[in-house]
Amino acid sequence: MNLKELKLAIINKDLEKIISLTNSSLEYKDIEEAKELKAYINIAKKMLEEEKSKLLKDMKNLKKLKEYNQNYQNYNSFNLKD
C-alpha cells in the first residue's frame, strides 16, 4: 500500500479499495511519508468502523421488520380462521 493509493481511496470513499489495500505491504520513502501514511490509515480505520456501525444498525432494523412482518402474518392468519 502506498500513500497515493490510500489517499485516493479515502477521497473517493472507496471502502472496497481500502479493504483490498489492507492486504498489501506498506511502502514509504521516508519517515515523514510513513507518518502521513499512518494518519491516513487511521482515517481509513475510522471510515470502516463507521460503515460497520451503519451496517449493524441496518441489520437490526431489518430484523425488527422481519419480526413485525412475521407477527403481522400470524395475526392475519389467526383472524382468518374465525
Is the CB of residue 36 less than 8 Å from the CB of residue 11? no
> For 49-72, what is the mean pLDDT?
95
**pLDDT tens column, 20-51:** 998 889 889 999 999 999 999 999 999 999 99
DSSP states of 9-30:
HHHTT-HHHHHHHTTSPPB-SS
Per residue in 48-60, pLDDT tens?
999 999 999 999 9
Phi, psi dihedral angles at 35 (to 5 degrees) = -65, -45
Domain assignments of the chain as residue spans, ordered by start:
3-80
